[in-house]
Amino acid sequence: MDNQELYQKIDEIIRAHDDDKPIVAILQDIQEEYRYLPREAFDYLSKKLGVSLAKIYSIATFYENFSLSPKGKYVIKICDGTACHVRKSIPILEALRKELGLSSEKSTTDDLMYTVETVSCLGACGLAPVLTVNDKVHPAMTPEKAIELLSELK
Amino acid sequence: MVIENRASMQKSRAAFLEQIDNQTKKIYVCGGTGCVAGGSMEIYERLKQLIEEKGVKCQVKLEKEEQGDHVGLKKSGCHGFCEMGPLLRIEPAKLLYLKVSIDDCEEIVEKSILGDEVIERLIYSRDDITYSVQEEIPFYKNQTRIVLEDCGQIDAESIEEYIAYGGYSSLEKCLFDITPDDIVKTISDSNLRGRGGGGFPAGRKWSQVKAQKDPEKYVVCNGDEGDPGAFMDRSIMEGDPHKMLEGMMIAGYASGAKEGYIYVRAEYPLAVQRLENAIADCHRYGLLGKNILGTDFEFDIYIVKGAGAFVCGEGSALTTSIEGDRGMPRVKPPRTVEHGLFGKPTLLNNVETFANVPIIIEKGADWYKTIGPVKSPGTKAFALTGNIVNTGLIEVPMGTTLRHIIFDVGGGVRGGKKFKAVQIGGPSGACLTEEHLDLPLDFDSLKKAGAMIGSGGLVVMDEDTCMVEVARFFMNFTQNESCGKCVPCREGTRRMLEILEKIVDGRGEMSDLDMLEELADTITSTALCGLGKTAANPVVSTLKYFRDEYEEHIRDKRCRTKTCQALKQIYIEKYHCKGCSLCSKVCPVGAISGKIKEAFEIDQSKCIKCGACLSSCKFKAIKEA
């Protein structure tokens, strides 16, 4: 990645926050831009905000939504909230992982096309089980429908 | 545009209402997360296009006045009947159309919008009775909708509609007719209790914050609805955001705070967007900012998005997270009312609590106490999910029985299965069984039964649900979400999870059950925050009511619901097997053997229970037990 471009983007994001330095919100914006938090962003942010690297790292690793490794073009989140769980969401997760050659340790395909992960409750329990592809909710899923969905994405 | 005083507020209200009254038909397309996922926004656009093609004017915003015949097209909040979405309501007939698809739009416009016909196939029917009027449907008829009254019957993106239907009149009353002391007294007298889970009296909190000497105070709204299986607060934020904002403003005025923060889960993008719109609209009309309605009152509200940490639903963790740090709870006292956000006195309530406030101010404490038990009055919104016929969002008076909720409102268990348990209160809550069906749901009765209302998620489970697996599921969740600050929660939940995993894997020992109870006891009495203290609840309650299932898993290595993979037995029914050998070919571990045209057999010591043979057999000779 071109670091200069990254730094410029970070400057923009910090400015948009009126120099208030809300670290969580800044990290959220960086992640929205790059779909993950690049390693280089930490050093730069630390210098720019005058906050220790450890502190920023501790915040980034605390919250579930932050990712330190690049994610796929399509981020598929299978809801494993209670309602989806009792309506059998795990077989969907397993089917997708099997299809894409992923596992609980390896959540992103090597070609950076797909990331498969679970999320605890999207609040769309009425439509359980659900999954989201880049935040679009797909209701009433089954393992078969999920595989079908994959082929639509390709 | 700024409304400068009370008189012009009332004038605007009348003007907006007149505009709504001038709409010959009002069409509400459900814009809740559920229906949007089902394609309701495409339906909205299609209806708009079709109506205009017919030469009828379609009013989508009240800002611009329309003359002559025109219909109003609105994006409403969640109707609650998510199972049947996408939903469409047409007034004045109060029609509710279910499972509307884009192909139905033309017929709907033709018959029900331009004409007055009812399209039979789109209305609800049950036991051979059809219900065209929304309020007659048993799912709605058996509810008491007060907080959610407008959800689904008002344009969620229009401050004008909210004002027209009497919105912000409670704020008006507070600013002009009564004093901050009166407000706090009304809230105290109403016995309103916090809807976030604990049921702490809101009035006491309000008066404590009001009594603080520090001139800088904050109002914080907890919209971090992290309990899996709960979406009441999301629906309020999406469907009627102004009600909650009005509640926050009143809290600000009463307590002397000038700023409010709403902490919303990042998983709720639509709620964030609706709230942002609503706040911008308030600024436009001068309902937020300086000199609100021409008075000295000054108030502003900011939105903070969470980043995915369940523990941030805890008060002190939430305020720390707003400050931009790791959201971890701290030791109390000092309590949030003295030392909250930025170290200042903070009035922290959840979404539903704030949404109750304008209603109580408008109708009075005495009226409020007539609903539900006097000690925990009012209504409660529940998210009804799991193995139930009518999943969705409901609101009933406090003290309603589970039986009424599950069978009358919810329509019973799906697929004619037998009711087994209901999980209430999320990961901090407990499982209740058939013997609790007549238990009144309010803060005190549930506490006696060892459960809690929590934020209000009700997950119904049928006979096919393995309770040990459910306990493992919740422990897995809590363990994942434990912030790691205190040892009992960090280490204790991990140990409990390990034991539960062992049991569902068929490696459990009887002594594990004692260890689970001991760990639960330690965590409950020594964890730092409320979430830690209640982390063991799902295990404790399932152990109490379903101990036999645990014992079966351990002693008989059997899962009666066939949920636990490792305890499954796959075998070949001798008489059905034709000896085709197909199963032995698909078996990945070579566990199946036999002679062609004779019955095959599975070597249980090699079988990994993958189920590949099950789907391969053309004669259905392979069975699971």
pLDDT in tens, B169-198: 999 999 999 999 999 999 999 999 999 877
Q: Are strands B129-131 and B124-126 parallel, antiparallel or unpaired?
A: antiparallel
DSSP B405: I
Q: Are B203 and B210 in contact (CB under 8 A)?
A: no
Chain B residues in contact with A59 by the CB 8 A cut-off are 324-326
Q: Are strands A74-79 and A114-119 parallel, antiparallel or unpaired?
A: parallel
**H-helix or E-strand spanning residue B457:** strand B457-462
Q: Give Cα B568 to chain centroid, integer Å.
A: 34
Record: contact B33-A138, CB cut-off 8 A: no
Give yes or no for A83 touching B (CB within 8 A). Answer: yes
CATH topology of domain B569-624: Alpha-Beta Plaits (3.30.70)
Q: What is the pLDDT of residues B209-260, one digit of tens each?
A: 999 999 999 999 999 998 888 889 999 999 999 999 999 999 999 999 999 9
User: Residue B612: its pLDDT value, please?
Assistant: 84
Give yes or no for B72 touching A (CB within 8 A). Answer: no
Nearest residue of A to residue B33, measured between CA atoms:
A124
Residue from A58, A62, A135 to probe the interface with B (highest B Cβ count within 10 Å): A62
Distances (CA, A) of B591 to A26, B194, B570, B598, B599: 55, 58, 11, 16, 14
Q: Shortest CA distance to B250 belongs to which of B171, B192, B364? A: B171
Rg (CA), chain B: 27
Kindly give the interhelix angle for B351-363 and B241-255, rounded to the nearest 10 degrees. 80
User: With the C-alpha atoms ordered A2, A4, A6, A8, is the resulting torsion angle positive or negative?
Assistant: negative
Among the partner residues B82, B269, B305, nearest to A127 by beta-carbon distance: B82
User: Residue B44: its pLDDT value, please?
Assistant: 96
Q: Shortest CA distance to B46 belongs to which of B21, B27, B18? A: B27
CA-to-CA distance for B455 and B471, rounded, in angstroms? 19
Position B344 pLDDT exceeds 90:
yes
Record: contact A25-B459, CB cut-off 8 A: no
Give yes or no for A22 touching B (CB within 8 A). Answer: yes
Average pLDDT over residues B527-547: 94
Residues in chain A where the model's pLDDT stays below 50: none
User: Residue A1: its pLDDT value, please?
Assistant: 58
Nearest residue of A to residue B305, measured between CA atoms:
A25
Please give, rounded to a whole number of angstroms, the shortest distance from the CA of B448 to a CA of chain A: 24
In the chain, the amino acid numbered B398 is: M
- pLDDT tier at B572, thresholds 50, 70, 90: very high
Q: Are A107 and A99 in contact (CB under 8 A)?
A: no
Give yes or no for B477 touching A (CB within 8 A). Answer: yes
**H-helix or E-strand spanning residue A74:** strand A74-79
Where residue B15 falls (left for φ over 0; alpha for ψ -120 to 50; beta otherwise) is alpha
How much is the ipTM here?
0.90
Q: Which CATH code for domain B379-462? A: 3.10.20.600
User: Residue B346: its pLDDT value, please?
Assistant: 97
Beta strands in B70-187 (DSSP E): 70-76, 88-91, 95-97, 124-126, 129-131
Record: contact B38-A87, CB cut-off 8 A: no
Among the partner residues A22, A80, A123, nearest to B33 by beta-carbon distance: A123
Bond before A129 cis per omega within 30 degrees:
yes
User: With the C-alpha atoms ordered B268, B274, B275, B276, is the resulting torsion angle positive or negative?
Assistant: positive
Q: What mean pLDDT value characterizes chain B?
A: 93
Q: Give Cα B396 to chain centroid, integer Å.
A: 14
DSSP B467-496: HHHHHHHHHHHHHHH--SSSHHHHHHHHHH
**H-helix or E-strand spanning residue B538:** helix B537-545
* pTM for this model (two decimals): 0.93
Neighbours of B4 (CB within 10 A): 11
CA-to-CA distance for B80 and B362, rounded, in angstroms? 25
Residue given tokens 């410029």 in the structure block = A8
Average pLDDT over residues B373-400: 92
Q: In A, residues 30-69, which contact B (CB 8 Å cutoff)?
A: 58-59, 62-66
Position B625 pLDDT exceeds 80:
no
Chain A residues in contact with B308 by the CB 8 A cut-off are 63-66
Give yes or no for B471 touching A (CB within 8 A). Answer: no
CATH topology of domain B21-137: Glutaredoxin (3.40.30)
CA angle B249, B254, B260 (to 5 degrees): 40
- CB under 8 A, 24+ apart: contacts of A100-107: A100/A150
Q: Residue A32: is it exposed, middle or buried by C-beta count within 10 angstroms (0-12/13-18/19+)?
A: exposed
Share of chain B above pLDDT 70, in %: 100
Record: contact B37-A126, CB cut-off 8 A: no
Position B434 pLDDT exceeds 90:
yes
Record: contact A130-B37, CB cut-off 8 A: yes
Confirm whether B21-137 and B178-369 share one CATH topology.
Answer: no
Among the partner residues A62, A82, A139, nearest to B457 by beta-carbon distance: A82
User: Residue B604: its pLDDT value, please?
Assistant: 86
Q: Which CATH code for domain B467-556? A: 1.20.1440.230
Which residues sit opposite B30 in a β-bridge?
B76
Beta strands in B149-238 (DSSP E): 218-223
User: Residue A19: its pLDDT value, please?
Assistant: 63
Distance in angstroms between the alpha carbons of the first and the last residue of chain A: 25
Record: contact B459-A121, CB cut-off 8 A: no
Record: contact B38-A139, CB cut-off 8 A: yes
Kindly give the interhelix angle for B232-239 and B351-363, rounded to the nearest 10 degrees. 60
Chain A residues in contact with B387 by the CB 8 A cut-off are 86-87
Q: Give Cα A110 to chain centroid, integer Å.
A: 16
Give yes or no for B307 touching A (CB within 8 A). Answer: yes
Give yes or no for B393 touching A (CB within 8 A). Answer: yes
Q: Give Cα A113 to chain centroid, integer Å.
A: 13
Q: Residue B326: is it exposed, middle or buried by C-beta count within 10 angstroms (0-12/13-18/19+)?
A: buried
Distances (CA, A) of B123 to A13, B77, B89: 49, 20, 10
Residue from A14, A21, A24 to probe the interface with B (highest B Cβ count within 10 Å): A24
Domain boundaries, given as residue ranges, for chain B: 21-137, 178-369, 379-462, 467-556, 569-624
Q: Residue B604: is it exposed, middle or buried by C-beta count within 10 angstroms (0-12/13-18/19+)?
A: exposed
Q: Are B424 and B460 in contact (CB under 8 A)?
A: no
Q: Are strands A131-133 and A136-138 parallel, antiparallel or unpaired?
A: antiparallel
Neighbours of A93 (CB within 10 A): 23
**H-helix or E-strand spanning residue B393:** strand B392-397
Q: Shortest CA distance to B499 belongs to which of B491, B490, B486, B508? A: B508
Record: contact B385-A83, CB cut-off 8 A: yes
Average pLDDT over residues B312-317: 93
CA angle B546, B552, B555 (to 5 degrees): 135
In the chain, the amino acid numbered B274 is: R
CA-to-CA distance for B586 and A83, rounded, in angstroms? 34
In the chain, the amino acid numbered B54 is: K
CA-to-CA distance for A4 and B129, rounded, in angstroms? 68
A69: three-class secondary structure by DSSP = coil
Record: contact A123-B231, CB cut-off 8 A: yes
Please give, rounded to a whole number of angstroms, the shortest distance from the CA of B39 to a CA of chain A: 10
CA-to-CA distance for B367 and B364, rounded, in angstroms? 6
Among the partner residues A27, A65, A86, nearest to B465 by beta-carbon distance: A86
Q: Is B178-369 in CATH node 3.40.50.11540? A: yes
User: Residue B311: its pLDDT value, please?
Assistant: 93
Q: What is the pLDDT of residues B55-77, one digit of tens each?
A: 999 999 887 777 878 999 999 99
CA-to-CA distance for B241 and B78, rounded, in angstroms? 12
Chain A residues in contact with B423 by the CB 8 A cut-off are 82
User: Residue B515: its pLDDT value, please?
Assistant: 97
Average pLDDT over residues B382-398: 92
Neighbours of A98 (CB within 10 A): 12
